Protein backbone atom coordinates (compact mmCIF):
# COMPACT_ATOMS: atom_id res chain seq x y z
CA UNK A 1 0.00 0.00 0.00
CA UNK A 2 1.43 3.41 -0.91
CA UNK A 3 1.98 6.04 1.83
CA UNK A 4 -0.85 8.55 2.19
CA UNK A 5 0.31 11.95 0.94
CA UNK A 6 0.51 14.44 3.82
CA UNK A 7 -0.73 18.00 3.66
CA UNK A 8 2.15 20.21 2.52
CA UNK A 9 2.32 23.73 3.95
CA UNK A 10 4.45 26.22 2.02
CA UNK A 11 5.35 28.88 4.56
CA UNK A 12 6.24 32.14 2.79
CA UNK A 13 4.37 32.01 -0.54
CA UNK A 14 6.49 34.65 -2.26
CA UNK A 15 8.54 34.17 -5.44
CA UNK A 16 10.03 30.79 -4.50
CA UNK A 17 7.29 29.54 -2.17
CA UNK A 18 4.50 30.69 -4.50
CA UNK A 19 6.10 28.99 -7.48
CA UNK A 20 6.49 25.73 -5.55
CA UNK A 21 2.97 25.87 -4.09
CA UNK A 22 1.65 26.43 -7.63
CA UNK A 23 3.65 23.48 -8.98
CA UNK A 24 2.56 21.18 -6.15
CA UNK A 25 -1.10 22.15 -6.50
CA UNK A 26 -0.96 21.65 -10.26
CA UNK A 27 0.44 18.17 -9.61
CA UNK A 28 -2.53 17.33 -7.38
CA UNK A 29 -0.81 17.58 -4.00
CA UNK A 30 -2.76 18.72 -0.94
CA UNK A 31 -0.90 22.01 -0.50
CA UNK A 32 -1.64 25.11 1.57
CA UNK A 33 0.09 28.46 1.05
CA UNK A 34 0.74 29.86 4.53
CA UNK A 35 1.36 33.58 4.69
CA UNK A 36 0.51 36.88 6.27
CA UNK A 37 -3.00 38.39 6.13
CA UNK A 38 -2.68 40.46 2.95
CA UNK A 39 -1.03 37.72 0.91
CA UNK A 40 -3.49 35.10 2.12
CA UNK A 41 -6.43 37.35 1.22
CA UNK A 42 -4.92 38.03 -2.21
CA UNK A 43 -4.29 34.32 -2.92
CA UNK A 44 -7.83 33.44 -1.81
CA UNK A 45 -9.19 36.08 -4.18
CA UNK A 46 -6.95 35.48 -7.19
CA UNK A 47 -5.16 32.15 -6.80
CA UNK A 48 -1.46 32.04 -7.63
CA UNK A 49 -0.48 32.92 -11.19
CA UNK A 50 2.85 31.73 -12.58
CA UNK A 51 4.36 32.98 -15.83
CA UNK A 52 7.03 30.53 -16.86
CA UNK A 53 8.63 29.37 -20.09
CA UNK A 54 9.64 26.13 -18.39
CA UNK A 55 6.31 25.25 -16.77
CA UNK A 56 3.85 27.29 -18.85
CA UNK A 57 1.50 30.02 -17.69
CA UNK A 58 -1.50 29.50 -15.49
CA UNK A 59 -3.48 30.20 -12.37
CA UNK A 60 -3.87 27.63 -9.59
CA UNK A 61 -6.47 28.11 -6.86
CA UNK A 62 -4.08 27.14 -4.07
CA UNK A 63 -5.77 27.08 -0.64
CA UNK A 64 -4.25 29.77 1.57
CA UNK A 65 -4.13 30.17 5.33
CA UNK A 66 -2.48 32.30 7.98
CA UNK A 67 -1.98 29.19 10.12
CA UNK A 68 0.07 26.05 9.56
CA UNK A 69 -2.05 22.86 9.61
CA UNK A 70 -1.13 20.63 12.55
CA UNK A 71 1.29 17.86 11.56
CA UNK A 72 1.84 19.20 8.03
CA UNK A 73 4.98 18.56 6.03
CA UNK A 74 6.42 22.07 5.76
CA UNK A 75 8.48 23.85 3.13
CA UNK A 76 9.94 27.10 4.51
CA UNK A 77 10.49 29.82 1.90
CA UNK A 78 10.36 33.11 3.80
CA UNK A 79 13.32 35.43 3.53
CA UNK A 80 15.93 34.83 6.24
CA UNK A 81 14.81 38.00 8.05
CA UNK A 82 11.23 36.69 8.16
CA UNK A 83 12.13 33.35 9.73
CA UNK A 84 12.03 34.46 13.37
CA UNK A 85 8.42 35.64 12.98
CA UNK A 86 7.17 32.25 11.74
CA UNK A 87 9.02 30.08 14.27
CA UNK A 88 6.37 30.17 17.04
CA UNK A 89 3.57 29.04 14.71
CA UNK A 90 5.88 26.50 13.12
CA UNK A 91 6.71 24.99 16.50
CA UNK A 92 3.04 25.04 17.59
CA UNK A 93 1.99 23.13 14.45
CA UNK A 94 4.26 20.19 15.32
CA UNK A 95 5.15 19.56 11.68
CA UNK A 96 5.98 16.05 10.51
CA UNK A 97 9.05 17.43 8.70
CA UNK A 98 10.52 20.80 7.71
CA UNK A 99 12.41 21.43 4.48
CA UNK A 100 14.12 24.84 4.40
CA UNK A 101 14.95 26.46 1.08
CA UNK A 102 16.38 29.68 2.49
CA UNK A 103 19.64 31.03 1.18
CA UNK A 104 22.37 31.32 3.80
CA UNK A 105 24.13 29.13 6.34
CA UNK A 106 23.14 30.44 9.77
CA UNK A 107 19.38 29.80 9.77
CA UNK A 108 19.51 26.02 10.24
CA UNK A 109 20.67 26.31 13.85
CA UNK A 110 17.79 28.70 14.53
CA UNK A 111 15.26 26.33 12.97
CA UNK A 112 16.54 23.28 14.85
CA UNK A 113 16.60 25.11 18.16
CA UNK A 114 12.94 26.09 17.69
CA UNK A 115 11.85 22.61 16.57
CA UNK A 116 13.29 19.97 18.88
CA UNK A 117 12.40 16.46 17.77
CA UNK A 118 11.20 17.56 14.32
CA UNK A 119 13.11 16.26 11.27
CA UNK A 120 14.58 19.44 9.74
CA UNK A 121 16.63 19.58 6.56
CA UNK A 122 18.32 22.50 4.83
CA UNK A 123 18.20 22.30 1.04
CA UNK A 124 19.06 24.87 -1.60
CA UNK A 125 17.20 26.03 -4.67
CA UNK A 126 18.68 27.40 -7.87
CA UNK A 127 15.98 29.35 -9.63
CA UNK A 128 15.26 32.89 -10.72
CA UNK A 129 11.79 33.94 -9.67
CA UNK A 130 10.37 37.37 -8.97
CA UNK A 131 7.04 38.52 -7.66
CA UNK A 132 5.23 40.80 -10.09
CA UNK A 133 2.52 41.24 -7.43
CA UNK A 134 1.38 39.41 -4.29
CA UNK A 135 -0.05 36.57 -6.38
CA UNK A 136 1.79 36.77 -9.71
CA UNK A 137 5.19 35.15 -10.07
CA UNK A 138 7.58 35.45 -12.97
CA UNK A 139 9.70 32.34 -13.22
CA UNK A 140 12.65 33.64 -15.21
CA UNK A 141 15.14 30.76 -15.23
CA UNK A 142 14.78 27.71 -17.46
CA UNK A 143 15.75 25.64 -14.41
CA UNK A 144 14.33 24.98 -10.93
CA UNK A 145 17.00 22.85 -9.28
CA UNK A 146 16.69 21.73 -5.70
CA UNK A 147 19.71 20.21 -3.98
CA UNK A 148 18.81 18.10 -0.96
CA UNK A 149 21.30 16.51 1.43
CA UNK A 150 21.20 12.75 2.07
CA UNK A 151 19.37 13.45 5.31
CA UNK A 152 16.34 14.64 3.29
CA UNK A 153 16.00 11.41 1.34
CA UNK A 154 12.56 10.07 2.23
CA UNK A 155 11.05 13.49 3.00
CA UNK A 156 7.50 13.70 1.64
CA UNK A 157 8.11 17.28 0.48
CA UNK A 158 11.18 16.23 -1.51
CA UNK A 159 9.31 13.43 -3.25
CA UNK A 160 6.36 15.71 -4.00
CA UNK A 161 8.58 18.45 -5.44
CA UNK A 162 10.32 15.95 -7.72
CA UNK A 163 6.98 14.48 -8.83
CA UNK A 164 5.66 17.99 -9.50
CA UNK A 165 8.41 18.82 -11.99
CA UNK A 166 11.24 20.44 -10.03
CA UNK A 167 14.63 18.98 -10.70
CA UNK A 168 15.70 17.41 -7.42
CA UNK A 169 19.13 16.00 -6.64
CA UNK A 170 19.83 14.23 -3.37
CA UNK A 171 23.37 13.87 -2.06
CA UNK A 172 26.04 15.09 0.30
CA UNK A 173 25.84 16.59 3.76
CA UNK A 174 23.68 19.58 4.64
CA UNK A 175 26.78 21.75 5.11
CA UNK A 176 28.06 20.77 1.66
CA UNK A 177 24.72 21.55 0.02
CA UNK A 178 24.23 24.90 1.77
CA UNK A 179 27.83 26.06 1.31
CA UNK A 180 27.91 25.10 -2.38
CA UNK A 181 24.98 27.45 -2.96
CA UNK A 182 26.22 30.05 -0.49
CA UNK A 183 29.69 30.38 -2.02
CA UNK A 184 28.12 31.14 -5.39
CA UNK A 185 25.31 33.31 -4.09
CA UNK A 186 27.46 35.34 -1.70
CA UNK A 187 30.13 36.09 -4.29
CA UNK A 188 27.57 37.12 -6.88
CA UNK A 189 25.25 38.95 -4.50
CA UNK A 190 27.99 41.05 -2.89
CA UNK A 191 29.67 42.04 -6.16
CA UNK A 192 26.43 42.74 -8.09
CA UNK A 193 25.12 44.81 -5.17
CA UNK A 194 28.38 46.78 -4.86
CA UNK A 195 28.63 47.61 -8.56
CA UNK A 196 24.85 47.72 -9.18
CA UNK A 197 25.50 45.77 -12.35
CA UNK A 198 24.67 42.28 -13.63
CA UNK A 199 27.08 39.46 -12.81
CA UNK A 200 29.32 39.75 -15.90
CA UNK A 201 30.15 43.44 -15.38
CA UNK A 202 30.29 43.07 -11.60
CA UNK A 203 32.94 40.35 -11.82
CA UNK A 204 35.15 42.14 -14.34
CA UNK A 205 35.07 45.78 -13.16
CA UNK A 206 37.76 45.43 -10.47
CA UNK A 207 39.51 42.05 -10.84
CA UNK A 208 41.48 42.57 -7.62
CA UNK A 209 38.34 43.11 -5.55
CA UNK A 210 36.68 40.13 -7.24
CA UNK A 211 39.65 37.86 -6.46
CA UNK A 212 39.69 39.07 -2.85
CA UNK A 213 35.96 38.38 -2.38
CA UNK A 214 36.22 34.90 -3.91
CA UNK A 215 39.25 34.09 -1.73
CA UNK A 216 37.50 35.29 1.45
CA UNK A 217 34.32 33.35 0.62
CA UNK A 218 36.39 30.20 -0.02
CA UNK A 219 38.35 30.69 3.21
CA UNK A 220 35.12 31.07 5.23
CA UNK A 221 33.70 27.91 3.65
CA UNK A 222 36.88 26.02 4.48
CA UNK A 223 36.85 27.35 8.05
CA UNK A 224 33.23 26.22 8.40
CA UNK A 225 34.25 22.67 7.49
CA UNK A 226 33.50 22.61 3.76
CA UNK A 227 36.86 23.04 2.03
CA UNK A 228 36.96 25.16 -1.13
CA UNK A 229 39.54 27.20 -3.04
CA UNK A 230 39.13 30.62 -4.63
CA UNK A 231 39.79 28.95 -8.00
CA UNK A 232 36.89 26.54 -7.49
CA UNK A 233 34.55 29.37 -6.51
CA UNK A 234 35.71 31.37 -9.58
CA UNK A 235 34.88 28.51 -11.96
CA UNK A 236 31.31 28.26 -10.64
CA UNK A 237 30.71 32.00 -10.49
CA UNK A 238 32.07 32.53 -14.01
CA UNK A 239 29.72 29.87 -15.38
CA UNK A 240 26.69 32.01 -14.49
CA UNK A 241 25.06 33.92 -17.41
CA UNK A 242 26.63 37.41 -17.58
CA UNK A 243 23.27 39.16 -17.57
CA UNK A 244 22.05 37.57 -14.33
CA UNK A 245 21.13 39.80 -11.39
CA UNK A 246 20.71 38.73 -7.76
CA UNK A 247 17.81 39.13 -5.36
CA UNK A 248 20.05 41.02 -2.90
CA UNK A 249 20.89 43.52 -5.62
CA UNK A 250 17.22 43.89 -6.60
CA UNK A 251 16.08 44.28 -2.98
CA UNK A 252 18.77 46.88 -2.19
CA UNK A 253 17.97 48.84 -5.35
CA UNK A 254 14.27 48.85 -4.49
CA UNK A 255 14.94 49.87 -0.88
CA UNK A 256 13.28 46.65 0.33
CA UNK A 257 14.21 44.61 3.39
CA UNK A 258 17.08 42.42 2.27
CA UNK A 259 19.38 39.51 3.13
CA UNK A 260 22.63 41.51 3.35
CA UNK A 261 23.12 40.45 6.96
CA UNK A 262 22.41 36.78 6.17
CA UNK A 263 24.97 36.92 3.36
CA UNK A 264 27.74 39.44 4.02
CA UNK A 265 27.09 39.66 7.77
CA UNK A 266 27.22 35.88 8.10
CA UNK A 267 30.56 35.70 6.29
CA UNK A 268 32.04 38.41 8.52
CA UNK A 269 30.82 36.61 11.65
CA UNK A 270 32.20 33.26 10.43
CA UNK A 271 35.51 34.97 9.61
CA UNK A 272 35.66 36.54 13.07
CA UNK A 273 34.89 33.26 14.82
CA UNK A 274 37.53 31.36 12.85
CA UNK A 275 40.30 33.95 12.55
CA UNK A 276 39.73 34.44 8.80
CA UNK A 277 40.17 38.09 7.72
CA UNK A 278 37.34 39.39 5.50
CA UNK A 279 38.36 42.97 4.58
CA UNK A 280 36.93 42.93 1.04
CA UNK A 281 33.55 41.63 2.24
CA UNK A 282 33.51 44.23 5.05
CA UNK A 283 34.18 47.00 2.52
CA UNK A 284 31.27 45.88 0.37
CA UNK A 285 28.86 45.40 3.29
CA UNK A 286 29.68 48.88 4.63
CA UNK A 287 29.35 50.45 1.20
CA UNK A 288 26.02 48.87 0.22
CA UNK A 289 24.17 48.87 3.46
CA UNK A 290 26.20 50.13 6.33
CA UNK A 291 24.99 47.03 8.15
CA UNK A 292 28.01 45.59 9.89
CA UNK A 293 27.18 42.71 12.21
CA UNK A 294 26.90 43.17 15.92
N1 LIG B 1 13.67 34.61 -5.70
C2 LIG B 1 14.67 33.81 -6.12
O3 LIG B 1 14.90 33.71 -7.35
C4 LIG B 1 15.48 33.01 -5.17
C5 LIG B 1 15.31 33.12 -3.79
N6 LIG B 1 16.02 32.29 -2.97
C7 LIG B 1 15.86 32.34 -1.52
O8 LIG B 1 14.56 31.88 -1.19
C9 LIG B 1 14.08 32.56 -0.01
C10 LIG B 1 12.74 33.23 -0.36
O11 LIG B 1 13.00 34.25 -1.31
P12 LIG B 1 11.87 34.89 -2.23
O13 LIG B 1 10.83 33.91 -2.54
O14 LIG B 1 12.59 35.55 -3.35
O15 LIG B 1 11.28 36.00 -1.26
P16 LIG B 1 9.90 36.82 -1.40
O17 LIG B 1 10.13 38.10 -0.71
O18 LIG B 1 9.40 36.82 -2.79
O19 LIG B 1 8.89 35.93 -0.54
C20 LIG B 1 9.06 35.75 0.84
C21 LIG B 1 7.77 35.24 1.42
O22 LIG B 1 7.99 35.12 2.83
C23 LIG B 1 7.00 35.87 3.51
N24 LIG B 1 7.52 36.52 4.70
C25 LIG B 1 8.51 37.40 4.80
N26 LIG B 1 8.64 37.85 6.05
C27 LIG B 1 7.71 37.21 6.74
C28 LIG B 1 7.34 37.26 8.08
N29 LIG B 1 7.98 38.05 8.94
N30 LIG B 1 6.33 36.48 8.47
C31 LIG B 1 5.69 35.69 7.58
N32 LIG B 1 5.99 35.61 6.28
C33 LIG B 1 6.99 36.36 5.88
C34 LIG B 1 6.56 36.94 2.56
O35 LIG B 1 5.32 37.41 3.02
P36 LIG B 1 4.39 38.48 2.27
O37 LIG B 1 3.70 37.68 1.22
O38 LIG B 1 3.51 38.95 3.33
O39 LIG B 1 5.31 39.51 1.71
C40 LIG B 1 6.58 36.18 1.24
O41 LIG B 1 5.41 35.45 1.06
C42 LIG B 1 15.19 33.54 0.38
O43 LIG B 1 16.03 33.00 1.35
C44 LIG B 1 15.95 33.74 -0.94
O45 LIG B 1 17.29 34.13 -0.74
C46 LIG B 1 16.85 31.32 -3.46
C47 LIG B 1 17.05 31.20 -4.80
C48 LIG B 1 16.44 32.09 -5.75
C1 LIG C 1 22.04 32.56 -6.99
C2 LIG C 1 20.77 33.33 -7.27
C3 LIG C 1 21.08 34.57 -8.05
C4 LIG C 1 19.88 32.47 -8.19
O5 LIG C 1 19.57 31.21 -7.71
C6 LIG C 1 20.03 33.58 -5.98
O7 LIG C 1 19.82 32.66 -5.23
C8 LIG C 1 19.54 34.90 -5.56
O9 LIG C 1 19.62 35.88 -6.28
O10 LIG C 1 19.03 34.99 -4.43
DSSP the chain: -PPPPPPEEEESTTHHHHHHHHHHHHTT--EEEE--HHHHHHHHHH-EEEEETTT--EEE---EESSPPTT-EEEE-S-GGGHHHHHHHHHHT--SEEEE--SSSSHHHHHHHHSTTS-EEE-EEE--EEESSSSEEEE-SS--EEEE-GGGTT-HHHHHHHHHT-EEEE-S-HHHHHHHHHHHHHHHHHHHHHHTS-HHHHHHS-HHHHHHHHHHHHHHHHHTT----HHHHHHHHHTS-TT---HHHHHHHHT----HIIIIIHHHHHHHHHT---HHHHHHHHHHT-----
Taking the CA of residue 104 as reference, the ligand 1 atom at the shortest distance is 43
**Ligand 1 within 6 A of CB of 269:** no
**Ligand 1 within 6 A of CB of 44:** no
The verdict on residue 84 lying in a domain is yes
The answer on 210 and 148 residing in a single domain is: no
The answer on 160 and 202 residing in a single domain is: no
The verdict on residue 2 lying in a domain is no
The answer on 234 and 152 residing in a single domain is: no
Neighbour tally for 190: CB within 10 Å: 30
The answer on 195 and 158 residing in a single domain is: no
The verdict on residue 3 lying in a domain is no
**Ligand 2 within 6 A of CB of 249:** no
> Residues 8-29: pLDDT tens digits?
999 999 999 999 999 999 999 9
The answer on 148 and 30 residing in a single domain is: yes
Per-residue confidence (pLDDT) for residue 5, from 0 to 100:
82
Is the pLDDT reported for residue 271 higher than 70? yes
**Ligand 2 within 6 A of CB of 103:** yes
> Residues 62-96: pLDDT tens digits?
999 999 999 999 999 999 999 999 999 999 999 99
The answer on 153 and 253 residing in a single domain is: no
Whole domain around residue 159: which residue ranges?
A: 8-172
Nearest to 187 by CA among 112, 263, 253, 258: 263
**Ligand 2 within 6 A of CB of 192:** no
Q: Predicted confidence band at 289 (pLDDT cuts at 50, 70, 90)?
A: confident
The answer on 242 and 97 residing in a single domain is: no
The verdict on residue 294 lying in a domain is no
CATH number for the domain that contains residue 89: 3.40.50.720
**Ligand 1 within 6 A of CB of 85:** yes
CATH number for the domain that contains residue 276: 1.10.1040.10
- The ipTM assigned to this model is 0.96
Taking the CA of residue 248 as reference, the ligand 1 atom at the shortest distance is 45
Q: What does residue 248 show for φ and ψ, rounded to 5 degrees?
A: -65, -45
Pick the ligand that lies closest to the CA of residue 86. 1
Dmax (CA) for the chain in angstroms is 60
The answer on 16 and 150 residing in a single domain is: yes
Pick the ligand that lies closest to the CA of residue 12. 1
The answer on 100 and 29 residing in a single domain is: yes
Amino acid sequence: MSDPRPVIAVVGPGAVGGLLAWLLHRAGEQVVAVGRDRTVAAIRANGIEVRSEAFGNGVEQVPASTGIPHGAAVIVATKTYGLADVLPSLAAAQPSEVLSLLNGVEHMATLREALPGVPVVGASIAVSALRASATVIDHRSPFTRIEVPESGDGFATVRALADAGASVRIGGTEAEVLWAKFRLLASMALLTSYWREPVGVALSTDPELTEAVLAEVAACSTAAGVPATAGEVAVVVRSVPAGMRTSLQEDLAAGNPNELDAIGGALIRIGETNGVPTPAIETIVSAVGGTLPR
